[in-house]
Amino acid sequence: MIKVIKNGSILTMEHDHIIKGDIVIEDNIIKEIVDNYTGFSDEVIDADGSIVMPGLINCHTHLGMYNFRNTLDDLKLMDWLNKKIWPIENTMTGNDIKDATYLSCMEMIKTGTTCCADHYFSPFEGIEAIKKSKIRCLYTRCLMDSDSKGEERFNEFKELYTKEKDKSDLIKFSLSLHALYTCSPNYVKEASDYASEFNLPIHIHYMENEEEHNTVSSEAIKPLLSNKLILAHGVYIDDTNIFKGKDISIVHNPISNLALGCGIADIIKYTKDGVNVCIGTDGIGSAYTLNMFKELTFAYLLPKGIYKDPSIISAYEVLKMATINGAKALGFDNLGMIKKGYKADIIIVKLLNEPINNPLVALLTNDLEVLTTIVNGEVLMLNKELRIF
Amino acid sequence: MIKVIKNGSILTMEHDHIIKGDIVIEDNIIKEIVDNYTGFSDEVIDADGSIVMPGLINCHTHLGMYNFRNTLDDLKLMDWLNKKIWPIENTMTGNDIKDATYLSCMEMIKTGTTCCADHYFSPFEGIEAIKKSKIRCLYTRCLMDSDSKGEERFNEFKELYTKEKDKSDLIKFSLSLHALYTCSPNYVKEASDYASEFNLPIHIHYMENEEEHNTVSSEAIKPLLSNKLILAHGVYIDDTNIFKGKDISIVHNPISNLALGCGIADIIKYTKDGVNVCIGTDGIGSAYTLNMFKELTFAYLLPKGIYKDPSIISAYEVLKMATINGAKALGFDNLGMIKKGYKADIIIVKLLNEPINNPLVALLTNDLEVLTTIVNGEVLMLNKELRIF
């Protein structure tokens, strides 16, 4: 099956500028980028006047939280979790999770996200929704043992992984711990061993707020450093030296971190220290939407204001966090660029404000619409019409 | 002429919650808000499923900068002004300003702004565009005397004001100084006297960045304190005690202040100190768009992150800055609320994400579309179609 995206202004992400050309997709792979494709094609998508770029990669979210939108009510993280989220989560059925997960996937597809890392519970129902949506996902079952159900959760994850690990090209698995303050050292060790055995990345909330920073020792992360690690939030990481030479990514969630009063992660320092910085929305409860473009606006502007230096971060660097760095963090090979041999996860974006003097900056700051979303070569949305239900 | 907006969820801004009802507009005034209007009407606008609220008030912008969008290229304020803006501005004709001003007005109408405070040059051409657009405006001609043209500019302003002052219900005038670092003390005194004589507010850039804070004495503002003052930016105001009992407003421009590396204004402190805080976009050059809803997202989230306290600012307080406080800052009476006897500057907004558990928070954080924009009782955009050209 050959598809061609014609006449677009292509941001391949190999470079920091736009090229013109046609993208030829064969099945799920980008076959070539040529000046003017005249060969056979099953489907032609006209991208004239729009930007064609890699789909965005949301490296930390909780898809099952769809219905928690705007319930935050100006509460702090632990108050919100204790008073609102956890009591309601305790009443949610697997079907609730399935429906919420599916609606979250639709919101991502509509707003240009083609790949995400989920972190929640009721995984057998959740994964059904993910598969149905046809989005790419690093999936899991969130683990913690701060109550008596730690082993039950772990067994559920093992069952999920054993059953599902080879079933879909689109879904890979992480082993996900809620946080170091909800997991005992033994549980962390068990997780690390399992992840090593099956070569799974570990996805964990880490140093999200001052309270965690004050109570969790920076030593506690060390047993996990031999694993591939995805650290969500990372607002308060004092020392990134211990990460040197390791496969560690920090997921920046700027909107959630502001909304919950956690603070602002210093992504400039982390990047300078050689850490792979990528972007996530967090769940809808604290991010309000799953629109990654909104996160990118904050990721682009906050460092300029904090450092009082507009040159501290470029549009290309921020777009890289949401594409190339995201693919690296989640362990998906050949993803995050529009390049021969890469997976065809592609979006077409219409910038709504004229003039567009700098398309990369415009993608981060101007009003825009995602017109078309393609995952693994399959068109999930075309000209704002979802193709899947 | 009677118009009715039916079935909307109304955010009157008198309260911090939504009411249901029909809004009856007679000519340019809100006549009543009733449960179910069954009387005569020339035009009925159905707002079912949408939020009806006061139009947003953009208290600081430079409408003539339309074509400077995305030219910022990560430069600092003074570098950007010296290297890019001022050399280009010197080549711009009155017609360029007219066209740019008109396009900026259309962008505001499309994104829910019904009133603005402009601050630029070529005022005879600019005011033609403003009138044609039918937006409400506090208009001016920007003054400075850091070169030899100070008197010429002042005379141009006087001519503008004398000629235009009573010509439109929609347009009022400020006397606008560029900044204290581009105006001599004598020029400031002359401006203050003129503003006092004709009862005009003074609109001035003030303490926008660290450089200004380091070079301009906090004494320099004192000759203006007997005037009604609109201070744009105000990122570095150490002492608001000198403002006590005065008619002083600070215009918060969060996106521009981040983009130019100026910093983040402490609107929590200013509000606590009794200063009237309102919101502006600044020009498109540093704000990327004139979409006030984007500014409101930043105004809502930044203080929560900076103060590490989600309760430090509420959605209602931020919405008030963009409506009630804006009207007060610009000196428009009976504006900024949906209330009997108030001017009919009203917008209808569709929130795009479900569920909407808290409509006020949703207005600040969720994806939305402005469907309809009414200024002074006249429908300038209906269901996303502009009615004016």
Give the integer Cα–Cα distance in Å for B387 and B130. 15
In this prediction, residues A156-167 reach a mean pLDDT of: 97
pLDDT attached to residue B389: 58
pLDDT attached to residue A86: 87
Give the integer Cα–Cα distance in Å for A119 and A133. 17
> Across-strand partners of B346?
B54, B374
Q: Is B302 on the interface with A (CB under 8 A)?
A: yes
**Residue listed under structure tokens 């809100």:** B30
Q: Whose CA is closest to A75, among B316, B314, B276?
A: B314
> What separation in angstroms does the CA of A230 have from each of A117, A118, A119?
10, 12, 11
- In the DSSP assignment, the letter for residue B310 is G
pLDDT attached to residue B142: 97
Contact indicator for A51, A363 with CB cutoff of 8 Å: yes
- Regarding whether B288 and B270 lie in a shared domain, the answer is yes
CATH label of the domain that carries residue B370: 2.30.40.10
Contact indicator for A303, A267 with CB cutoff of 8 Å: yes
Interfacial B residues in 194-213 facing A (CB < 8 Å): 209-210
> What separation in angstroms does the CA of A173 have from each of A151, A176, A331?
19, 9, 10
- Regarding whether B69 and B50 lie in a shared domain, the answer is no
- Regarding whether B263 and B192 lie in a shared domain, the answer is yes
pLDDT tens for each residue of chain B, 389 residues long:
999 999 999 999 999 999 999 999 999 999 999 999 999 999 999 999 999 999 999 999 999 999 999 998 888 888 888 988 889 898 999 999 999 999 999 999 999 999 999 999 999 999 999 999 999 999 999 999 999 999 999 999 999 999 999 999 999 999 999 999 999 999 999 999 999 999 999 999 999 999 999 999 989 999 999 999 999 999 999 989 999 999 999 999 999 999 999 999 999 999 999 999 999 999 999 999 999 999 999 999 999 999 999 999 999 999 999 999 999 999 999 999 999 999 999 999 999 999 999 999 999 999 999 999 999 999 999 999 999 75
- Phi, psi for B129 (deg, rounded to 5): -65, -40
At which of B330, B346, B373 does a domain end?
B330
**Contact residues on chain A for B297, CB-CB shorter than 8 A:** 294
Å from A302 to nearest chain B CA? 6
Burial class (CB in 10 A: 0-12, 13-18, 19+), B147: exposed
Alpha helices by DSSP H, A222-309: 254-259, 267-272, 284-287, 292-306
A74, A298, A384: best to mutate for the B interface, most B CBs within 10 A: A74
| Tokens found for residue B293 | 């809803």
Q: Is B312 on the interface with A (CB under 8 A)?
A: yes
Beta-carbon contacts below 8 Å between A and B: 150
Residue B227 identity (one-letter amino acid):
N
Å from B34 to nearest chain A CA? 29
Give the integer Cα–Cα distance in Å for B294 and B370. 13
**Contact residues on chain A for B308, CB-CB shorter than 8 A:** 209-210, 261-263
Q: Is residue A339 pLDDT above 70, yes or no?
A: yes
B74/A311 touch (CB, cutoff 8 Å), yes or no? yes
Q: What percent of chain A has pLDDT over 70?
A: 100
Cβ neighbours of residue A218 closer than 8 Å, sequence gap 6 or more:
A238, A239, A242
- Regarding whether B168 and B314 lie in a shared domain, the answer is yes
Number of C-beta neighbours around residue A207 at 10 A? 23
* Strand blocks (E) in A79-128: 113-118
- Regarding whether A152 and A9 lie in a shared domain, the answer is no
Q: How many helices (H) and strands (E) does chain A have?
A: 14, 19
Q: Give the CA-trace dihedral at A240, A245, A246, A252, to 10 degrees.
A: 40
Q: Whose CA is closest to A60, among A322, A259, A280?
A: A280
Cis preceding-peptide flag for B123 (omega within 30 of 0): no
CATH label of the domain that carries residue B280: 3.20.20.140
- Regarding whether A314 and A218 lie in a shared domain, the answer is yes
Query: Which pTM was predicted?
Result: 0.97
Q: Is residue A114 pLDDT above 90, yes or no?
A: yes
Q: Whose CA is closest to B88, among B103, B119, B66, B108?
A: B66
B353/A107 touch (CB, cutoff 8 Å), yes or no? yes
- Return the higher-pLDDT residue of B346 and A77: B346
B353/A69 touch (CB, cutoff 8 Å), yes or no? yes
Cβ neighbours of residue B24 closer than 8 Å, sequence gap 6 or more:
B2, B3, B4, B30, B31, B32, B33, B34, B37, B39, B41
- Regarding whether A220 and A132 lie in a shared domain, the answer is yes
B308/A357 touch (CB, cutoff 8 Å), yes or no? no
- Phi, psi for B33 (deg, rounded to 5): -120, 115
- Regarding whether A315 and A194 lie in a shared domain, the answer is yes
Interfacial A residues in 3-62 facing B (CB < 8 Å): none
| Tokens found for residue B138 | 């506090």
End-to-end, the C-alpha distance of chain A in Å comes to 22
**Contact residues on chain B for A111, CB-CB shorter than 8 A:** 367
pLDDT attached to residue A389: 58
Interfacial A residues in 216-275 facing B (CB < 8 Å): 255, 257-264
Q: Which one of B70, B304, B355 has the shortest CB-CB distance to A261?
A: B304
Q: Is A158 on the interface with B (CB under 8 A)?
A: no
- Regarding whether A258 and A173 lie in a shared domain, the answer is yes
Q: Is A214 on the interface with B (CB under 8 A)?
A: no
ipTM: 0.97
Number of C-beta neighbours around residue B185 at 10 A? 10
| Tokens found for residue B242 | 């000198």
**Residue listed under structure tokens 């460092």:** A303
DSSP H or E run through B345 = none
Average pLDDT value for chain A:
96
Interfacial A residues in 66-105 facing B (CB < 8 Å): 67, 69-76, 103
Structural domains in chain B (count): 2
> Across-strand partners of B116?
B58, B137
Q: Chain centroid to CA B4: how far?
A: 26
Q: Which one of B70, B307, B314 has the shortest CB-CB distance to A358?
A: B70
Q: Which one of A261, A291, A314 has the shortest CB-CB distance to B308?
A: A261
pLDDT attached to residue B77: 80
Give the integer Cα–Cα distance in Å for B179 and B163. 25
- Regarding whether A129 and A65 lie in a shared domain, the answer is yes
Give the integer Cα–Cα distance in Å for A163 and A150. 20
Å from A84 to nearest chain B CA? 13
Cβ neighbours of residue B235 closer than 8 Å, sequence gap 6 or more:
B207, B208, B209, B257, B262, B263, B264, B265
By DSSP bridging, strand A51-54 and strand A2-10 are parallel
Å from A282 to nearest chain B CA? 14
Closest chain A residue to B255, measured at CA: A301
- Regarding whether A182 and A107 lie in a shared domain, the answer is yes
**Contact residues on chain A for B305, CB-CB shorter than 8 A:** 257-259, 261-264
Burial class (CB in 10 A: 0-12, 13-18, 19+), B73: middle
Q: Is A366 on the interface with B (CB under 8 A)?
A: yes
Q: Which one of A294, A297, A355 has the shortest CB-CB distance to B67?
A: A355
Domain that holds residue B43: 2-54+336-386
- Regarding whether A171 and A129 lie in a shared domain, the answer is yes
Q: Is residue A388 pLDDT above 80, yes or no?
A: no
Helix (H, G, I), strand (E, B) or coil at A44: strand
Å from B230 to nearest chain A CA? 23
Contact indicator for B350, B369 with CB cutoff of 8 Å: yes
pLDDT tens string A2-31: 999 999 999 999 999 999 999 999 999 999
Contact indicator for B88, B347 with CB cutoff of 8 Å: no
At which of B310, B330, B350 does a domain end?
B330
Å from B125 to nearest chain A CA? 21
Contact indicator for B33, B24 with CB cutoff of 8 Å: yes
Q: Whose CA is closest to B135, among B32, B63, B50, B66?
A: B63
A255/B301 touch (CB, cutoff 8 Å), yes or no? yes
Å from A327 to nearest chain B CA? 26
